[in-house]
Structure formats: C-alpha cells, structure tokens
Structure 1
Amino acid sequence: MAVKSYSQVGEDLQIAYFIGRGADVRYIDVGCLWPVQHSNSYYFYERGGSGLCIDPNPTVGDEYRETRPRDVFVNCGIGAEAGMMTYVMHENPVFNTFSTQRAAEVARKAEKRPGGRTMTGTVEVAIKPLAQVVAETGFAERVEGRVDFLSIDVEGFELDVIRGFDFGVLRPKLIVTEHLRGKADAVEDAEIVKVMAGHGYWVGGYTGHDLYFLDERA
C-alpha cells in the first residue's frame, strides 16, 4: 500500500523508518515553513503527534495555528546566539534565507530559471537559540522530557541550531539535518558529523540531501 509523503524529498518516511509510525510522536521542527506542504512533521501530526514548530517566515503563523492547533508555533529564526538578522524573501518561500551567500546563488539561478527565485524583499527577524525557545514555551514540560526527533532545515545554519540547543534538557532519539555536498566531499569529514559525535550521535543514514543522526544511548 502506498504511503503519502509530505516532505520535499521523503524525509518524513525516512524518519518513520527510524522511529516508527506511532500515534504519539513528539518532534521539534526548525525551519518548518508550511504546515502541510514540504513538511517533515505533518505525517506524524496527522497520526496524533504534536510538537514545537519554528520558522522565521512572517506570513505562515496564522495558517500554522489554524491547520495544526496541537502544535506550538513560534515565528523566529534559530541560531547559536540571540540577536537580529536580515531575512531575504522570495516569490517561492523555499528559497528564503538568512545567508547572503545562498541569496546570491538564488539570484544567479533566477536569471536562467526563475521558478519563484525572484526576491520580493527583506525583513529583520529576531534570532533565538533553540534552548531559549524551548524554555520560553515550556515545551520540555509539555512533552515530559521526551522528543522523538528534531528536524533542522535552515539553509546552511544547521550547526548554529545545534550549538544553541541544550541536550541536557531534551535529547531527541533522531536528528535530521539538510546536508548538501559536492561529489568529492566525504560525509565523515563534515564538521556537523564531528560535532554530533561529540554529543553522542552517529550517522544512521545519508540520502544525498539529508543526514540522519541517531542517539547512541537510545
């Protein structure tokens, strides 16, 4: 029987492979964007799960709260330290980014393949460490200290998210991060792999688009 994926490249089904398809999956979805389309967590929400969803796009909050009332939605950017950053917005929000390098790449590609890559403006967005958002929302208490997975899709700032997270408060069984690399780049040499190993996580899978880290203590 076919199973519907809502993610961009099937991440939700990969996550289900690692943690199962239970009715009470708890998650943190950083860079969640839309509540259903391209979502790494909606697959679990429609099966009874709930979690903390975070995105800096100022246009998605109302839709999120209406579509997924069991979730806690926070509109901000996530980084290693609190501050403000310029958020570059495009016709298709999947290209939105805090990275000036990524924004320049999108602009170059827009000349040949527009496809929603036209920039529509910029906005200053608050940046908070993930540990701060967890504390401010009381999320650790809401889930009684249990999180099944943490999804991070932040256009190159994945390490900053990890550095601002407190593994002593919550320890996800699985962490999935976007990881695009060149053909000559070995996964085991990636900085994020080394950082995650320091937190006790090993690479359980790599799809060419995402890395899947499993808690070696689980």
Structure 2
Amino acid sequence: MISYAQNFEDVILWRVLKHIENGFYIDIGAWSPDVDSVTKWFYDQGWHGINIEPNPDFYNKYISSRPNDKNIKKAVSSEKGVMDMFFCDNPGLSSLDESVVKQHERLGFGSQKEEVEVTTLNDIFQKYVKVDSSVHFLKIDVEGFEKNVIKGNDWEKNRPWVLVVEATLPMSQEENYIEWEPILLNVGYLLAYADGLNRYYVAKEHGELLEKFKYPPNVFDNFKLFSQLNAEQRADQAERRADQAERRADQAEQRTERADQIVEGMNSLVNALNCELQSIYNSISWKITKPIRIAKRMAKRFWLGFVAWITFKRGSRPRRVILRLLWALKIYIDKSPYLRTKIVNLLNRCPKVKNRLRIIESNISDYYTSSSSEQDNYLGLRAKEIYIKLKAEIDNFRES
C-alpha cells in the first residue's frame, strides 16, 4: 500500500475497509487530491465518492484528476446559505471561523476574505447519496468548524460506517473534541481509535469493525509512504542517469582508444614513408641524377624568363622597365608645356596613334596610382614574396 495521508489515516481506514469493493466515501475539507489526501489510495483502488472543497484552485484540481468523483465547490456548516470564508496563504489553514484565522495571522500568515456558498451534510446526503447506499467512511477536516458540520446532519438517517474527525485545534495538539463528541456518542457512534490528530468512530450497527482499530499503523499493514516512494523513484532515476553517463564515458573511452590506434597507425605509415624517402635520397641513383634535376630547374626558370621577356608577360621585368620609362617620359612632357603642345598637335594628325597612346597612358597611370594589392600583379615572384613578408612585419609592428 502507498500512504498519501498526513497521519496514516488511509492506512487505518484501508485495514478496516479493504474487504469492501468499489466503496464510497465523503471528504469534507478535501484540500489536495494528492498531497496529504485520505482518499487518494482508495480512489486508485476503484473507490469513488464526494469531495467538498471551497478553494477554487484545489476544486479545479479535483475536476481534472478525479473524474469518477462528485466534486463540490462549497463549504459545509450547520445551515445552508452564504458565508465569509478566510483563505490563508497556507491553503490547508483556511476556515469559516474568523477567530481561527486571526490566530494564524498572529503567526505571520496572510488571509483573504471571500464569500462562499455553504451547504449542510444532510443536504449532501439527500442530493448525492443514493437511497439504501452505504457511505463507508466520512472524513471531516474543517479547521475548527467541525461542530457546525456535525450539527448539520441527520445522524439517525445518514449513517456512514466510519467517521474520521480532526480533534485538535489548528496547528496545535490542544484537543477540541469535547464540544462535538457528545453529539456523535448520543446518536450511536462508538469511539474506535485516536491518533493524536483525529478521532475515529464506528456506527454501532457496524461494531464488528472495532477490532481492526486495536493497533496503530504498523509493519503488518505493509505500506510505504508516498514521500518515500518519490525519494526511491528519484534515486532510481539518478542511478539510471549515472549508468547512462558511465556508458557514455565508456563509449568515449573506446572511441579515444580507436582514435589513438588510428593516429599510431598513421604515425607508423609516416615513419615508413620518411624512411623510404630517406633511402631514396641516400640512393646512388638519386645522387647521380642530382645535376640533371638542377639543370632541369635552371632550364625551366630560364625558359619562363625568356618567354616573359619575349611576350612582355604581365609582371615581367621588361614590362616593368618599359612602364617606368614611359611614366618618366610622361612626367617630363607634362613639365614642358611647349613640348606637350607640339606633341599634341602632331598626334591630332594621327587619331589612331593618339587613342592608342591614351590607352597606354591610362594603364601606366593605373599602375602608379593603384592600391598596393593591384601593384602586386606587376611584381615578379621573388619581389612578391619579399613584399608580403615586409607587409606582414609592418602590420605586426603597428598592432604591437
């Protein structure tokens, strides 16, 4: 069994009534459908009943989680009508008794007053309990308002088998049952058990149940607390996550080992290739052919340089020399207006030559006025290499 109740009330009631299949209960002051619930275990075992809870938040929880129950958003007293209810910051301390809530306020709890609809226990029996049907247990927990609830029932007509009534003042061990217990004793209910918080009563016509109240909850009831179950489940989840993490760590270690093996294999291959390459370098044939390779490289450089000279390839030395000479000539002409005028008059007679010279002048001007990245195209390979190194050193110096 899993016990959800605050003080093992469901353990005692289950011991007494577990022989009943599909039983029926009434819970006045039901509060939460799960936390500290006396009826949660019974509902899970196929029982159903009536939950009376004026707090709208908890009432909505009952609507969603207890579809087989009758859930009523009202308070219960000795008469029907409308009353002020004081809802505390701690919902379990809310009450129709203003004096009780004032004591909670002195302890630092806040409260809010709201009007709620009030019914009676007798009215609940008449509306929601079928004739000749049994209510196997009735729980009353209304924070100091128990007497009013008890007074609002016809106990000769409506007789639950077992009653569970909170018998101490809210948030204390001070007993307050003296003011309402005589009512129950006078209508044929027998005190069966007291657990320090509640008092249990059995209708005299079901006196055979008294024997099962002889002992408090114990190991033979074979129950486990819901909080303990939650702790065990969290521990199991943590253990499963730890196992998963350990498996992932093992997999990562295996992948690392495989990677190490691959790296070791690659290193072996590189070493083998280096050895083979070194053996080639040390071979007689490599040493004999060395002059041929040198001659081939020199021939290639000579040929490329020769082609560049012949074709005036972009970036070749002849092209750069000619461009410098033409640029110097242009500057000289620009400084001599007389010479410039004579040349312009001469070129005006030859339009095609003039247009061609304009194109050449434009190219020369672009070369000397372009950005350094564009001038790189006019540099030789060795010049480019030197230029890149110088530029990198200058940039590093500026950054530092």
Report the TM range for the smaller structure's normalisation: 0.7 to 0.9
Distance (whole Å) between structure 2 residues aligned to residue 104 and residue 216 of structure 1: 38
1:28-177 correspondence to structure 2 within 5 Å: 28-110=26-108, 117-119=109-111, 121-136=112-127, 138-141=128-131, 144-177=132-165
Distance (whole Å) between structure 2 residues aligned to residue 175 and residue 161 of structure 1: 12
Distance (whole Å) between structure 2 residues aligned to residue 94 and residue 183 of structure 1: 16
Q: Which residue of 2 aligns with 1:113?
A: none
How far has the Cα of 1:211 moved from its partner?
A: 0.4
Most deviating of 12-21 and 81-90: 12-21
Distance (whole Å) between structure 1 residues aligned to residue 22 and residue 130 of structure 2: 15
Distance (whole Å) between structure 2 residues aligned to residue 98 and residue 186 of structure 1: 16
TM-score in terms of structure 2 length? 0.48
Q: Who wins on radius of gyration, i.e. which is larger?
A: 2
CA 92–139 in structure 1, closer or farther in 2 if over 3 Å, else same? same
Q: Which residue of 2 aligns with 1:197?
A: 185
TM-score in terms of structure 1 length? 0.85
How far has the Cα of 1:131 moved from its partner?
A: 1.3
Distance (whole Å) between structure 2 residues aligned to residue 21 and residue 107 of structure 1: 44
Q: Which residue of 1 aligns with 2:7?
A: 9
How far has the Cα of 1:96 moved from its partner?
A: 1.0
Aligned residues, how many?
Answer: 204
Say what the alpha-carbon RMSD is for the aligned residues.
2.1
How far has the Cα of 1:20 moved from its partner?
A: 2.6
Say if 1:21 and 1:44, in contact at 8 Å, map to a contact too. no
Say if 1:24 and 1:50, in contact at 8 Å, map to a contact too. yes
Say if 2:88 and 2:101, in contact at 8 Å, map to a contact too. no
CA 134–183 in structure 1, closer or farther in 2 if over 3 Å, else same? closer
1:91-149 CA distance string (max 9 Å, x none): 22111111111111111122xxxxxx332x2210111111112323x3224xx521100
How far has the Cα of 1:168 moved from its partner?
A: 4.2
Q: Percent identity?
A: 27
How far has the Cα of 1:32 moved from its partner?
A: 0.3
Distance (whole Å) between structure 1 residues aligned to residue 38 and residue 61 of structure 2: 16
How far has the Cα of 1:6 moved from its partner?
A: 1.2
Secondary structure of the residue aligned to 2:60 is helix
Distance (whole Å) between structure 1 residues aligned to residue 126 and residue 21 of structure 2: 25
Say if 1:140 and 1:169, in contact at 8 Å, map to a contact too. no
Say if 2:173 and 2:196, in contact at 8 Å, map to a contact too. no
Say if 1:130 and 1:161, in contact at 8 Å, map to a contact too. yes
> Which AA in structure 2 matches 1:24?
N
Distance (whole Å) between structure 2 residues aligned to residue 123 and residue 213 of structure 1: 33
Distance (whole Å) between structure 2 residues aligned to residue 184 and residue 34 of structure 1: 25
Larger RCO (CA within 8 A; separation ≥ 6): 1
Say if 1:29 and 1:53, in contact at 8 Å, map to a contact too. yes
> Which AA in structure 2 matches 1:97?
S
Distance (whole Å) between structure 2 residues aligned to residue 28 and residue 102 of structure 1: 24
> Which AA in structure 1 matches 2:8?
G
Say if 2:53 and 2:72, in contact at 8 Å, map to a contact too. yes
More helix by share: 2
Secondary structure of the residue aligned to 1:140 is coil
Which runs of at least 4 in structure 1 moved beyond 6 Å after TM superposition? 181-187
> Which AA in structure 2 matches 1:140?
K
> Which AA in structure 2 matches 1:71?
D
Secondary structure of the residue aligned to 1:156 is coil
> Which AA in structure 2 matches 1:127?
V
How far has the Cα of 1:191 moved from its partner?
A: 3.0
